[in-house]
Structure 1
Amino acid sequence: MLIREFGWADYDAVVSVWRTAGSDPLPRAELEAKLERDPELFLVASDGTIAGVVLGTYDGRRGFILRLAVDPARRREGIATRLLAELERRLKALGCPRINLFVLPDNAAGLAFWRYHGYLPAPDVVCTKPL
């Protein structure tokens, strides 16, 4: 399994992984803007097909994991762990001191995965405003 940077040829396969994993795909325009900033933090796991994807970002102060998804048919193969390890390595190389992420409270499997990898729930209140 090769962990590498996303390329536009991967877009349809990444959308497919997001959909089968239960996430809405990000529109091309959003990804274009994101890739102008830190393309090295958008990673795919590939062994001829895209099995997983992680979308990270770094604002100069904190790293964020915005999306981690693995094709449900490929879960329990260590793909998410490998994607996470490579993203963490890249964020650390950028000087990132802390990584944040969001998990929906009813996502027990997601919470267990993140806790297993050392991510602890924080009592922050998340506020959002669509523009």
Structure 2
Amino acid sequence: MLDRRVSAELRPFADSDEEQVVALWHACGLVRPWNDPHRDIARKRLVQPELFLVADDGAVAATAMAGYDGHRGWVYYVAVRSDLRGCGLGRRMMAEVEVRLLALGCPKVNVQIRSGNEPVTAFYDRLGYAPDGASGLGKRLIPDG
């Protein structure tokens, strides 16, 4: 980890953040043709919007989107601006998400790593995440693309 501090406020997403958030997700390679990021944001604004966080250092520096279904917590769209990687901001975002999920009574948090993004596994390993013997399957109910 680099030896520098990042002064950024962690706060819930605001509507005025949308364009910067989508640009960050594109820059981080998180957007896929079958997931419209604007629709993902609109959907999240309707369900547990307090679990959609941004780090703000005068601009959007990082994001994390989480949800809790009463059984498990899930974290998506964890992104940190490239000039701030290695400064602990991703760790701060995940810690804040975990605090918020725990406050809701969430007993376990899951993250999914897309094929091709395996290098991020080391980040999650350092945070105590480990393979749990489950496989992720998906089925699209509403096509975005």
In structure 2, how many angstroms separate the alpha carbons of the residues matched to 1:26 and 1:39?
Answer: 18
Structure 2: stretches of 5+ with no match in the other structure: 1-7
1:76 aligns with 2:83: no
In structure 1, how many angstroms separate the alpha carbons of the residues matched to 2:131 and 2:70?
Answer: 22
Moved over 4 A (4+): none
Q: Residue deviations 1:18-77, cap 9 Å, x none?
A: 011111174333322222210111000111011110011111111000220111122111
In structure 2, how many angstroms separate the alpha carbons of the residues matched to 1:33 and 1:106?
Answer: 26
In structure 2, how many angstroms separate the alpha carbons of the residues matched to 1:129 and 1:110?
Answer: 24
Equivalent position of 1:15 in the other structure: 22
**Which residues of 2 match residues 98-113 of structure 1 at below 5 A?**
98-113=108-123
In structure 2, how many angstroms separate the alpha carbons of the residues matched to 1:34 and 1:61?
Answer: 18
Q: CA RMSD in A?
A: 1.5
Structure having greater relative contact order (Cα 8 Å, sep ≥ 6):
2
1:61 aligns with 2:57: no
Structure 1: stretches of 5+ with no match in the other structure: none
Local SS of the residue matching 1:64: strand
For 1:9, the aligned partner's letter is: S
Number of paired residues?
131
* Structure 1 residues 26 and 74: CA distance shift in structure 2, 3 A: farther
Local SS of the residue matching 2:110: strand
In structure 2, how many angstroms separate the alpha carbons of the residues matched to 1:97 and 1:75?
Answer: 29
